[in-house]
Structure 1
Amino acid sequence: MKLYRLQQTQALPIPLAAAWAFFANPANLPLITPPDLGFRVTSPLPARMYAGMIVSYTVTPFVGLPVAWVTEITRAEEPRFFVDEQRCGPYRFWHHQHLFREVAGGTEMTDLVHYRLPFEPLSRLIAPLVQRRLAGIFAYRRRVLEERFGRLSGAAGGGGPGEAG
């Protein structure tokens, strides 16, 4: 079993409470998702995210291939972290941790995603393509968040796709 890992850390010059409020509002997800992903929420959304919340949507990760995706917020501990896990969708396994911590002048956010592709071992042939696509999605998100909130100078950042095991 091949488990892939993507990690990105970004610091924004906003208070922890403001960062949490933005990310805890599920209606903001389309704002930080690249338009070419064809992201469309297909379930009603509450005003605020909570553990046990189910969200369904469609995405078009590659041209002409719309995919239904259902995730569940499995854990949420305001304002420190929440976890979304795929219940059905394009991955064999998807576990996404959203971590928040207060730093001097703002909030540091870390996304830590572990995922497994379907159809192993054949999926190893497309793994580099998936890794690039995910890196592009998170790069878009980074840009949108910096445009919206600014950039915390002197903060660590970066990260990217990788593998775990």
Structure 2
Amino acid sequence: MKLYQLRSKQSFPISAKEAWEFLSDPGNLKVITPPHMGFEILSGNDRAMFPGQIIQYTVSPFPGYKTKWVTEITHVKEGEYFVDEQKFGPYALWHHKHFIKPIDGGVEMEDVIDYKIPFGILGQMAHPLLVKKQLKQIFAFREQKLIELFGSLKNTTKELQFKTI
């Protein structure tokens, strides 16, 4: 089974504190998820983020397919990073690191996601046609929504990279 990695970076003219307050609030995940995905938080967003926190969602990653997704916040370093891991959901593995770093004029937000697709060779065949395409759409929506909310730093570029490990 192949392991895939997605890396995304964006820079914004806000403070690290503002970025942390937004990203560490599980309720804001719905704000930066495309509406067509039917994303709803069922539980776990009633308090500030902490290691061991379980968050339950429903999501429809593809038309006609709705699933429950359960993640655990496994690591938190206040103001700098947190990690969520899928406990139950559409992936065979989902390990998502969120980093926040102050830079000149604002903050850089970086996501590093290591993931595996279920269903063996069928999942590997579906990756470039469905999964990778869907993740690109999600991160394009997220990029635009974050720019609407926070603006954009001049002379910075947004990065989105996929690789197979």
Matches within 5 A, 1:78-89: 78-89=78-89
Q: CA deviation at 1:44?
A: 4.1
Q: Give the corresponding residue for 1:147.
A: 148
CA distance in 1, matches of 2:125, 2:79: 39
Q: Give the corresponding residue for 2:132.
A: 131
Contact 1:92-1:115 at 8 Å conserved across structures: yes
TM-score relative to the length of structure 1: 0.96
Aligned residues: 164
Q: Deviations over 1:75-98 (max 9, x none)?
A: 010111100000000000000000
Contact 1:7-1:110 at 8 Å conserved across structures: yes
TM-score relative to the length of structure 2: 0.96
Contact 2:91-2:118 at 8 Å conserved across structures: yes
SS of equivalent residue, structure 2 residue 17: helix
CA distance in 2, matches of 1:153, 1:107: 12
Q: Give the corresponding residue for 1:90.
A: 90
Q: CA deviation at 1:164?
A: 2.9
CA distance in 1, matches of 2:124, 2:33: 25
Following TM superposition, the consecutive aligned residue runs of length 4 or more in structure 1 with deviations greater than 6 angstroms are none
SS of equivalent residue, structure 1 residue 111: strand
Structure 1 unmatched runs, 5+: none
CA distance in 1, matches of 2:54, 2:92: 18
One-letter amino acid of the counterpart of residue 132, structure 1:
K
Q: Give the corresponding residue for 2:49.
A: 49
One-letter amino acid of the counterpart of residue 45, structure 1:
N
CA distance in 2, matches of 1:164, 1:80: 27
Q: Give the corresponding residue for 1:74.
A: 74
RMSD of aligned alpha carbons: 1.0
Contact 2:44-2:53 at 8 Å conserved across structures: no
SS of equivalent residue, structure 2 residue 65: coil
One-letter amino acid of the counterpart of residue 96, structure 2:
H
One-letter amino acid of the counterpart of residue 52, structure 1:
G
Q: Give % identity.
A: 43
Structure 2 unmatched runs, 5+: none
Contact 1:26-1:47 at 8 Å conserved across structures: no
Q: Give the corresponding residue for 2:157.
A: 156
Q: Structure 1 residues 35 and 142 mapped into 2: Cα distance closer, same or farther (>3 Å)?
A: same
One-letter amino acid of the counterpart of residue 37, structure 2:
L
CA distance in 1, matches of 2:156, 2:92: 34
Contact 2:44-2:54 at 8 Å conserved across structures: no
Higher mean C-alpha deviation, range 124-133 or range 44-53: 44-53
One-letter amino acid of the counterpart of residue 142, structure 2:
R
Q: Deviations over 1:8-51 (max 9, x none)?
A: 10001000011001111111111011000110111142232111
Q: Give the corresponding residue for 1:99.
A: 99
